[in-house]
Amino acid sequence: MRTPALVSSAAAPVLLIGGWLLAESRQPPGFDPLRDAISDLAALDAADRQIMTAALLGVGLAHLVTAAGLTEVSRAGRLLIAAGGIATALVGVFPLPAGDGGSTAHTVAATVAFTALAVWPFTGGSRTGLLRRPATLAAGTVLLALVAWFGATLAVGGPLGLAERTAAAAQALWPFVVALSIRTRSEQPESYPPGGSSQVVDRLNGSP
């Protein structure tokens, strides 16, 4: 794993969560983070909308750097992280209009981002840290469940803002958890079974 991937994967949740907290602090008293969406913070009629827009662009860029440097992840997984990053940036590029209107481009970008960042753990495991198959399956299941909860609040009502923030934060955090696991594991000294190290030395010296 390349070091920039660890830095970028750590930056993504900081930018996302820090961005929405700062943007929320600039909204009028009627704004409710438990009910109102993250996208409302970057809408054309939002107060200081550039804060959330910049955060979304930064998160998207961070995911792209992570996808490029997280070489232990399968190619399909890295492509999905990259797709999620591009889509996240496009959420900021195509903001919601003023008022209660919607935006097809915004909706498509958000859907792609949530989907890609939820399913990438399913793309393959390895023997490296949290990329082992049981961990990836568990992570993917949790991320999909959180996205499903968010979708349910869109369809039937409920704490939409809470559901979206929980799903988005979990998706932003998981690449960092994986990257940190890989880095920690790579820094651990290699261990051998009893007699294993001497056998390795014997082989290097050409002993039978």
Q: Rounded to 5 degrees, what angle do the CA atoms 128, 132, 133 make?
A: 155
Q: Tell me the pLDDT band of 188, cut-offs 50, 70 and 90.
A: low
CA distance 176 to 182: 10
CA distance 18 to 24: 10
* pLDDT per residue as tens digits for the range 81-116: 999 999 999 999 999 999 877 899 999 999 999 999
**pLDDT given at position 186:** 65
CA distance 42 to 55: 10
pTM, rounded to two decimals: 0.85
Q: Tell me the pLDDT band of 2, cut-offs 50, 70 and 90.
A: confident
